Amino acid sequence: MTLIRLSLLAFAALSMGVGACGPIKSTQIIQGSDTALHKAKTAGAEDKAAYDYHSAKIYLHKAREKWGTSDFEYALDYASKSLDFAKTAHDKSVKE
């Protein structure tokens, strides 16, 4: 009986650890994207790389929206796209 309980507890702990990856990872990428977007704005990306800057801003908004409804897979996807656009916007702004 004790072995069964230990197995169930181990499975529950493992399940909780795996389930937490989505919220943690999406939160990290959202924060990274927010930072990259501010960095791009500081470099003048609103004018110099408008398409990339505004795309990053919209994807970040959508990521936060999905995160707020606990749809972490989509939040991670949108946040990753936002981060890519923000980095591109920053790079384009610095080169000019």
For 60-73, what is each residue's pLDDT tens digit? Answer: 999 999 999 999 99
**Burial of 27 per CB tally in 10 Å (0-12, 13-18, 19+):** middle
Query: Is residue 7 in a domain?
Result: no
Q: Could you give the number of structural domains in the chain? A: 1
Domain limits for position 43:
22-95
Query: Is residue 35 in a domain?
Result: yes
Name the maximum alpha-carbon separation found in the chain: 70
- pLDDT tens-place string over residues 8-19: 555 555 444 445
Query: Is residue 16 in a domain?
Result: no
**Confidence class for position 35, pLDDT limits 50, 70, 90:** very high
**Confidence class for position 4, pLDDT limits 50, 70, 90:** low
Query: Is residue 14 in a domain?
Result: no
Instruction: Tell me what the pLDDT averaged over the chain comes to.
Output: 87
**Confidence class for position 20, pLDDT limits 50, 70, 90:** low
Task: Please state, as a whole number, how many other Cβ atoms lie within 10 Å of the Cβ of residue 91.
Answer: 14
